[in-house]
Structure 1
Amino acid sequence: MDFKDDAELDPSQVEDSRAAGPGPRGGGSMPGCVLPIGGRGGCLLAMLGLAALLFFGQPLLSGLDGGQYGEAPPPAPQRSGNLAERCRLGSDADQSEDCRIVGIVNSIQSYWKQAFAGRGRTYSPAKTQLFGATVSTACGKADSSVGPFYCPADQKVYLDLSFFNQLVTRFGAQGGPFAQAYVVAHEYGHHVQNLLGTMRRVGNDRHGASSGAVRLELQADCYAGVWAHNAVRTGFYAEPFSQRDIDQALSAAAAVGDDSIQKRVQGYVTPDGFTHGTSAQRTKWFSIGYQSGEPGRCDTFTGAI
């Protein structure tokens, strides 16, 4: 995963609140949520985060996690200097995790802007906010234990970089730069769903192996694969992704499957509690998107999944 050295980054697409702490908005009621679900004050936000089971899924897992899933991981180390100063070129993205996220976000949004335009639509960019420990959003307050998530009320992706270490140490994923890219691309898949109105298709169908919630998540995985197929065309990468890169994404997708998490935490699988899809489903739909490169192939709401 090599950025073009002279690719111009747009750090304005990423906000960094790690040093400043949580913003002024929010509150425990999560007023910006578009769909309430059970659990600890959850909403659609809970379903949209790639690792939402870390926090909102705790009641589902009946506390059999030994307390780990209710605790926030250590905050990511603070960086000195702002992103605008440090993240200007692709060469910066190859040297810095912060700047890598900027480059990934830039490439993802460049692709979706092109894809929407090709279908006579307008893509509205969504910012990513880096945070540590806690953050206030238009969907309410959240902490690091939520994992990455998208808030439809303010159209932002929220990311605590310490999650990427948790992805390896707690979930057993391979890790690596492209695992990070998969996570971010998945969350932007939710932004695309929000813009297209797909989120409304979930309705009250929020749990179960074939639920609307699972179908929504699998479509976001597919959209992540679509971006990966087309990423080199956005002009940010020096060459197409290698099989090693794709393997990192597949490992991450498998690690956060509902069945994988449930086996690890409670020792058995309860399909009625699924909200994101199995490991096999998540890798399948990422692969469908990656192999086809076509968003139209990501119709998870029709037929079997």
Structure 2
Amino acid sequence: MTLTIRAFRPDDATAACAALRAGRPYLVTTPETVAWQVAAQPHLRMLLAEADGRIVATARFGAYPDSEEPGHGFAAVHVVPGHRGQGTGTALLTATEEALAAEGVRHAHCWVDDEPAAHGFATARGYTRGRVAYFAGRDLTAPLPPLPARPPGVELRTAAEYADDPHPLYLVDVEGTRDEPGDVDLADQGYASWLAEIWHRPDLDRELTTVVLADGRPVGFSAAQTDGEGRYWSSFTTTVRAHRGRGLAKLAKADSLHRARAAGITAAFTHNDGGNAPMLAVNDWLGYERCAAEWKYSRELTA
């Protein structure tokens, strides 16, 4: 086997997307989105491992652009099943760590599939296990629970209705992101960056993204991404602090799923930190079933 580690090229999008999804059917992404992420997000880079002309592993990595403490970065290495245990992951991770260190990253954070071999791989390379997160799936051909009652003064719209001015949704997103569980303190993302990296994602489905308004002002949303193949991804559901505890996140996520089912979407997936008890409870109520887990691993890099 001749192994080559190289940078992602736009014409790799289809093969790289297939490699990312191999063995992980709960991931919802498209070749267009993979190519767009590398092109549109300056902090995100991708390396590929190619064996005899076939892409057999991917690494997405970069420095956290909004980290309040410099030197924090992320890496996600995935080897296609059937090509593991042959040194491919080691070669790709080594190249990734070298690239991160060259960018000034000293604290590398990685998410690792919840499999014995993956845990052993990370531990053997000096990474220490931290928090857990869960993937969950839901068959949308099965009935959904009825929508919860709307509190007085609350109405529902779609993100499509904010196409001309999404700034109110940006404000909700920023406040919600501040309270997301995590190990890195992030500064607020700027509006221009949010437009480029969030609002203009090619897989963001604005018609299926539900926005919750209270007294005429957006106070929460449940963002949806779709792949054009009947699959739906719940990317972020949040409510501003002043309106939490009213069931608005549950209402938004339920409404978005009802819209998705009506639009012919057949499978829904989501991902949540293991410490996010309120959202995990909402997912249980909606009928999601956990289908996989991943663990956060970290290590210090040397220059």
The verdict on a shared fold, with TM-score over 0.5 as the criterion, is: no
Larger Rg: 2
- Pick the structure with more strand per residue: 2
- Pick the structure with more helix per residue: 1
Give the TM-score of the pair, scaled to structure 1. 0.28
